[in-house]
A = this chain, B = another copy of it.
């Protein structure tokens, strides 16, 4: 029987590409040495209207987000922005004023992240497709899995807010899903102040912890996740498990990073962050629940193609 890509799933599709190609670094971005002291950092991400843009998202927000998703990967490497390429396809029936709103969103994001729009491509398609490419530089990169035993695990802000923006009717959470902001300055500060690894958690915290796994163990404490009663109540009202939302919804553009204990004090002077756990030698990815029990954190996260069975 011929297999379709839906039988294979995105992770195995990516594995196939990696198996055929030894020139890809499997991290948040590509890393290309350009001289003795610096790397070119490059990343590309495609957003498709029917898959990635909520119905209530404005055209401006679509443009802004197309920059954010790419810049977030630069941030995860501790890179300094260099330039952004915009490849955009739109239906020929789109109002020109709406197209202008998308471009305004792209340009405002480029200004916000201090990453100049340097080129691109325009095309016609049956729906809006925006493929961004973000370019940056760094001296060396914040990889995903270069932490050491006893390093602390931390995040640059609260998680679960995008899930609230998606599930609640409260307007105050809406921007978290409609106009998220990438942590580009935070990434550079982390790199300069002793962080030992980092990645963004847009695919969900559980999925990213598994991506970071290097054979050592990780322990996350529920009590340190800053989960508000309001959050639990909203999840409950929707019939959802609040920890499932925290670990598996994703779309929060925060960075998760590791840092040696003796570097925490210095970093606290430069950055707001929340310590949520630590690296240990258990070889397992666990959570210590509020009730004291320890449970494994399963890998879920978003997977294109693969259908839930």
Residues of A within 8 A of B (CB): 2-8, 10, 13-14, 16-17, 20-21, 23-25, 29-30, 32, 34-35, 38, 40, 42-46, 48, 51, 82-83, 85-87, 89-97, 99-100, 103-104, 107, 110, 116-126, 129, 131, 133, 135, 137, 304-305, 307
Contact = CB atoms under 8 A, between A and B. Distances in A.
Contact of A118 (B24, B51, B89, B95): B24
A86 to B, nearest CB: 8
Contacts of A89: 46, 48, 129
B118 A25 contact: yes
A13 B102 CA distance: 12
A104 B100 CA distance: 38
A125 B51 contact: yes
B95 A3 contact: yes
Q: Which 6 A-B pairs have the closest CB atoms?
A: A30-B119, A23-B116, A30-B118, A6-B92, A131-B131, A44-B85
B46 A121 contact: yes
B43 A3 contact: no
A111 to B, nearest CB: 10
Contacts of A120: 17, 24, 44
A43 B5 contact: no
Nearest to A85: B44
Nearest to A6: B92
Given A25-B119, A45-B121, 4 more contacts: A5-B93, A5-B95, A7-B96, A43-B119
Contacts of A122: 10, 13-14, 17, 304
